[in-house]
Structure 1
Amino acid sequence: MATEKPYDVQLEIMQTKDGHSLRIDEDTLKSEHALSTRDAIKAYPMAIFWSLAVSMCVIMEGYDTILIGNFYAYPEFAKKYGQFIDEHGNHQLSAAWQAGLGNCSGVGCFFGVMLNGYLVAKWGQKRVLVGALIVLSCFIFITFFAPNIIVLAVGQVLCGLPWGVFASSAPAYSSEVLPMSLRVYLTSYTNMCFIIGQLIAAGVLAGLVHRTDEWAYRIPFALQWLWPAFLIPLLCFAPESPWHLVRVGQLEEAELSLRRLQRSSANVDVKATLATIVHTNQVEEEITAGTSYLDCFRGTERRRTIIACVSFAGQVLSGSTFAYNSTYFFQQVGLTTDETYNLNVGGTGLALFGTLVNWFFLMPYFGRRRIYLWGMFTMSMILFVIGILNVWTHKSSVGMTQAVLTLAWTFVFQLSAGQLGWALPAEVGSTRLRQKTVCLARNAYYLVSVVSGILQPYFMNPTQWNLKGFTGFIWGGTAFLTFVWLFFNLPETKGRTYEELDWLFSKRTPTRKFKDAEVDRSQHGDEASALSV
């Protein structure tokens, strides 16, 4: 029978097959707050390792994102797949094909993400990730041998299916195997892997741009086989998420997984950690009606899902389609091919530097809300300046100035939305709906990305609207509107356990009171934590 018990007494959660009881007391509930970042690194080295390994799957999506977007200005690619020749004899893809090809992988990712929400609930993160890597290895053959742009588009759609799995599984896995003090670093590390993939692609493109044969674009496609060859055998040994194992009732396996994730000599009680997971899961079973996608939009979950979706979609609404994948913009404002691809490499390196600055100088001292909020405001101002400068495009220095401003935008993006767009969706959703919340948030990103990907070529293409730098006004506007929404709706999640977030959302705590609100554990217990004994 269900009984109500306050948090300040010992709670017998469940009895394992070996006869040991899992107990949780006030000290256990406070221990996660007491674990500093340095102590957590010492106590959970294997959790960090496996989080890094799983996140490396995202490198391939980041690689492809910048690869296809920057192939448009690539001479040999345009010669092979282009349908348009200007008065100087240069090949280009039409705006329609730029929009279509650029969004093919996003369409595949959308369906891959939705499918992943069901697959992980049944099979767990580990099996689904390994299976997706095997499937991707097969689909890469299509893009590598594509004889025409139609086959290439089909290959991009199919490759997008496993990429969607990686993008939604990596932050969710990291959030479930790490303690609270490490959570934001390793969930946002997914973004760093995205940048690493882009940096590799930028370097490969810059190195091959002068080749005059088909290998100029086939080699970049072939390099995608390296990651599955490395990650498949590695991830076969990864531990499953203990949260998933608890949700499916495999407590002994969950305990073994926790032991694999932390150092044996660490002063952390594995059974107490397991008891906390079981307890939080039971609390959420009382709060939420189920674990379907529809449940993400019921009751207090609706607010959490919307925050997660806007946080992820904010990466596109901030202007990333214009300012991040900017080689085509550089070309349209008059920069040479060498200048274009060298700036592209420099911009991607600057993005990686911005990620490190955020880790060491922002996230340890400032809250998620402040970083994301003011980063979005700064990006909107930079984009407006790029638009204003376009009035003086007759001056030779203006194009380079606009290009440098896109690099500044890239740096600010990685200080804020670039990282926290990955971390926040993995934090704000309840643990039982986390995977599906992350999936919905990532799909919000893909939907907005597809729309922006369709519009952006028309903004920039000289045979269409040819807005050049004036495009900054459009994306500056979307960034500013996103800033306004975040100001009123994005709560502070820094320093909050999943259980505390459940309480704050269930109490409908106002956005700007999240940071300092005190969690009344006894009230939370009365409302939601009736435990089966």
Structure 2
Amino acid sequence: MNKSDPKPSIEHIESNSIDLKEKNDVLDDVQLATDSEHDITLKEALKVYPMCIFWGIIISSTIIMEGYDVSLLGNFIGYPSFQKKYGRPFEDHYELTGPWQVGLSCASSVGAFFGVLSNGFLIEKFGHRKVIMFFLVWMTGGIFIPFFAPRVEVLLVGQIFNGIPWGVFATMGPTYSSEIMPVALRGYMTAFVNLCWATGQLLAGGILKGLVSNTTEWGYRIPFALQWVFPIPLIIMTYLAPDSPWWLIRSGKEEEAAKSLARLWNKKIHHRIPQQINLMKHTNELEKQQHNSKSNDEKGWRGYLQCFQGTNLRRTEIVCVCFIGQILAGSSFAYQPSYFFRQAGLDPANTYKLNLGTTAISFTGCIVSWLFINKFGRRRIYVTGYFFLTSLLLLIGVLAIPKQTPGIQWTQCGIVLVWVGIYATTIGPLTYTIISEMSATRLRAQSIALARNSYNIISLLSHIIQPYLLNPGEADLKGKTAFFWFGTAFPTLIWSYFRLPESKDRTYEELDILFDRKISARKFASTELDYVPEVDID
């Protein structure tokens, strides 16, 4: 020190000492909270986080409505009473024309696109609960349109209108669950979102099977009306739910975040709440530092721009390709198979029996996936599942080449059921876990919205293409349609091997560090992190 330099005052020295002590205390809390996340077992997590599970189930249950209606419209296309009301005579029965099949299949996706897009910033501005309640009320009124639709044009408008809240619900479940769950439960409860989707499909399949012989207008009106069962109880439960503590931290509401954790956690671990608050604040500040963002940059449309900057670009690529991988794997062809079964030569009764069996397999597969999700990790299950799905598409296409016999037709239908089982235990549920974990916490709503809208766009294209590939008045490819989807599935399989990282057992801060270091996707699981980066917490 220069002699001319003034000596630091005692107050200045003491102030620096206090600041250093506080900083060290925060880093200690961050490390303790991180260690706690890693050390807790599944059995222990079930005991101390029961309310996390309960509220995750409640919020994710909104997706049952989307799964129900998407399955309903997808399978109504081959439904006799629906075809008679909205279709045209074709040989000895009624048939929706190709353009109207496309229009009705795409309608809800159009609405969902705008619902998802708006939800990306509505969540950050108003929080999960208020947004869900608003769109549940919207949904309650919107059901009147398809229920009373006198013409197919009105039905189309109704599907677009109702698609907006379905888009909101589709992104809300994984967003909320990923923010209230500890690492030990995060994979299970984000994958639970797909179980809700499958539950909606199972309900729709059972109702359609029960009413397939009803040739009156009530054969399709009753399934529409049953959607009114969902909104009111969900509005009440959502009102009672706690807000996401991560959202509260991002909004600068530290005390409310602590109260939210107190509602979510068992009293036995309430002493760890200050440590968790510091971990969330530390992660939040680390991401702001990495993104060079200000406190409110993620509140509006600018958050979407940040998803394409710096390391966020890689994260956005992963969540988007992973989600559209569900469509590219052939789900439009194999996951809603009623129309394919009809075109394969099966009568309506057998078609909807198989369809109900398909939804039951899907439901069971989601539960079975929980046995593997934490044992094998996200990456291995996704890549392995994609390999088998791609192979089965090739096999279905090959079986469609020779002259078709009842034995070959039933074999194709059987392989479709196997395809659904593999899908439901691998990429179906794992996709929701991956998109929830790969995004930065400050950009989670926007990242999941971008992923879901990427899915919606590809889904729209598939709904335009798929009916023309199968429709007897168009290409009439029947099982050969599988060759088309094999052509989209195989490149996605290659991408998943080289670009999809492993996020199992990682806290969000650890994932931030791994992405910031540009670690290879195949080395995410093996890279060791043994320090906590220093950031300034206000």
- TM-score bracket relative to the smaller structure: over 0.9
The equivalent residue for 1:152 is 155
DSSP 3-state at the match of 1:391: coil
The equivalent residue for 2:400 is 390
- Structure 2 residue 470 is the aligned partner of structure 1 residue 466: no
The equivalent residue for 1:277 is 280
DSSP 3-state at the match of 1:91: strand
2:89 maps to amino acid: I
- In the alignment, the residues of structure 2 paired with residue 143 and residue 98 of structure 1 have an alpha-carbon distance, to the nearest angstrom, of 16
DSSP 3-state at the match of 1:233: helix
The equivalent residue for 2:34 is 29
The equivalent residue for 2:8 is none
1:59 maps to amino acid: I
- Structure 2 residue 345 is the aligned partner of structure 1 residue 334: yes
- Structure 2 residue 73 is the aligned partner of structure 1 residue 68: yes
| Alpha-carbon distance change, 437 to 25 in structure 1, aligned in 2, over 3 angstroms | closer
- Structure 2 residue 423 is the aligned partner of structure 1 residue 423: no
- CA shift, 1:311, in A, is 1.0
Match of 1:455 among 441, 447, 465: 465
- In the alignment, the residues of structure 2 paired with residue 532 and residue 73 of structure 1 have an alpha-carbon distance, to the nearest angstrom, of 59
Contact 1:10 1:24 in 2 (8 A): no
- CA shift, 1:267, in A, is 6.5
- Structure 2 residue 507 is the aligned partner of structure 1 residue 497: yes
DSSP 3-state at the match of 2:241: coil
1:233 maps to amino acid: I
- In the alignment, the residues of structure 2 paired with residue 23 and residue 365 of structure 1 have an alpha-carbon distance, to the nearest angstrom, of 30
The equivalent residue for 1:521 is 531
Runs of 5+ unmatched residues, structure 2: 1-15
- In the alignment, the residues of structure 1 paired with residue 48 and residue 317 of structure 2 have an alpha-carbon distance, to the nearest angstrom, of 34
DSSP 3-state at the match of 2:519: coil
- In the alignment, the residues of structure 2 paired with residue 8 and residue 451 of structure 1 have an alpha-carbon distance, to the nearest angstrom, of 58
The equivalent residue for 1:97 is 100
Contact 1:137 1:225 in 2 (8 A): yes
Please list, as runs of the form range in 1=range in 2, the aligned pairs for 1:284-303 lying within 5 A after superposition: 284-288=287-291, 289=293, 290-291=297-298, 292-303=303-314
Contact 1:305 1:441 in 2 (8 A): yes
The equivalent residue for 1:349 is 360
- CA shift, 1:463, in A, is 0.7
Match of 2:223 among 194, 217, 220: 220
- In the alignment, the residues of structure 1 paired with residue 47 and residue 20 of structure 2 have an alpha-carbon distance, to the nearest angstrom, of 29
1:363 maps to amino acid: I
1:374 maps to amino acid: T
Alpha-carbon displacement from aligned partner over 1:302-339 (angstroms, at most 9, x marks no partner): 00011000111111111000001000000001011111
- In the alignment, the residues of structure 2 paired with residue 35 and residue 164 of structure 1 have an alpha-carbon distance, to the nearest angstrom, of 34
The equivalent residue for 1:530 is 535
The equivalent residue for 1:262 is 265
- Structure 2 residue 96 is the aligned partner of structure 1 residue 86: no
Percent pairwise identity: 44
Contact 1:9 1:25 in 2 (8 A): no
- Structure 2 residue 48 is the aligned partner of structure 1 residue 43: yes
DSSP 3-state at the match of 1:462: coil
DSSP 3-state at the match of 2:289: helix
The equivalent residue for 1:186 is 189
- In the alignment, the residues of structure 1 paired with residue 351 and residue 408 of structure 2 have an alpha-carbon distance, to the nearest angstrom, of 15
Please list, as runs of the form range in 1=range in 2, the aligned pairs for 1:195-214 lying within 5 A after superposition: 195-214=198-217
- In the alignment, the residues of structure 2 paired with residue 26 and residue 415 of structure 1 have an alpha-carbon distance, to the nearest angstrom, of 34
- Structure 2 residue 476 is the aligned partner of structure 1 residue 476: no
Contact 1:9 1:26 in 2 (8 A): no
Count of aligned positions: 514
- In the alignment, the residues of structure 2 paired with residue 465 and residue 475 of structure 1 have an alpha-carbon distance, to the nearest angstrom, of 15
Structure 1 range deviating more: 201-210 or 393-402:
393-402
Runs of 5+ unmatched residues, structure 1: 14-21
- In the alignment, the residues of structure 2 paired with residue 504 and residue 7 of structure 1 have an alpha-carbon distance, to the nearest angstrom, of 27
The equivalent residue for 2:370 is 359
Alpha-carbon displacement from aligned partner over 1:176-197 (angstroms, at most 9, x marks no partner): 0010110010001000000000
Contact 2:139 2:162 in 1 (8 A): yes
| Alpha-carbon distance change, 469 to 276 in structure 1, aligned in 2, over 3 angstroms | same
- In the alignment, the residues of structure 2 paired with residue 481 and residue 8 of structure 1 have an alpha-carbon distance, to the nearest angstrom, of 53
- In the alignment, the residues of structure 1 paired with residue 264 and residue 270 of structure 2 have an alpha-carbon distance, to the nearest angstrom, of 13
- Structure 2 residue 320 is the aligned partner of structure 1 residue 309: yes
Contact 1:7 1:25 in 2 (8 A): no
- In the alignment, the residues of structure 1 paired with residue 120 and residue 486 of structure 2 have an alpha-carbon distance, to the nearest angstrom, of 33
2:415 maps to amino acid: L
- Structure 2 residue 245 is the aligned partner of structure 1 residue 242: yes
Alpha-carbon displacement from aligned partner over 1:353-401 (angstroms, at most 9, x marks no partner): 11121112x1131011110001011001111111110123432211111
Contact 1:136 1:162 in 2 (8 A): yes
- In the alignment, the residues of structure 2 paired with residue 25 and residue 320 of structure 1 have an alpha-carbon distance, to the nearest angstrom, of 42
The equivalent residue for 2:383 is 373
Alpha-carbon displacement from aligned partner over 1:243-280 (angstroms, at most 9, x marks no partner): 00011111111110000001112375111111111111
- In the alignment, the residues of structure 1 paired with residue 65 and residue 20 of structure 2 have an alpha-carbon distance, to the nearest angstrom, of 45
| Alpha-carbon distance change, 385 to 279 in structure 1, aligned in 2, over 3 angstroms | same
- Structure 2 residue 510 is the aligned partner of structure 1 residue 510: no
- CA shift, 1:6, in A, is 13
1:60 maps to amino acid: M
The equivalent residue for 2:9 is none
Contact 1:42 1:266 in 2 (8 A): no
Contact 1:296 1:433 in 2 (8 A): yes
1:75 maps to amino acid: P
- In the alignment, the residues of structure 2 paired with residue 110 and residue 223 of structure 1 have an alpha-carbon distance, to the nearest angstrom, of 24
1:49 maps to amino acid: F
Contact 1:8 1:26 in 2 (8 A): no
- CA shift, 1:140, in A, is 0.6
1:494 maps to amino acid: K
- In the alignment, the residues of structure 2 paired with residue 253 and residue 12 of structure 1 have an alpha-carbon distance, to the nearest angstrom, of 22
2:412 maps to amino acid: Q
* Structure 1 moving runs of 4+ over 2 Å: 5-13, 25-29, 265-268
Contact 2:374 2:504 in 1 (8 A): no
Match of 1:124 among 102, 127, 131: 127
Alpha-carbon displacement from aligned partner over 1:146-185 (angstroms, at most 9, x marks no partner): 1111111111001011111111111010000010110010
1:341 maps to amino acid: Y
Contact 2:385 2:427 in 1 (8 A): yes
- CA shift, 1:477, in A, is 1.9
Contact 2:32 2:275 in 1 (8 A): no
- In the alignment, the residues of structure 2 paired with residue 440 and residue 35 of structure 1 have an alpha-carbon distance, to the nearest angstrom, of 33
- In the alignment, the residues of structure 1 paired with residue 184 and residue 526 of structure 2 have an alpha-carbon distance, to the nearest angstrom, of 18
- In the alignment, the residues of structure 1 paired with residue 150 and residue 271 of structure 2 have an alpha-carbon distance, to the nearest angstrom, of 57
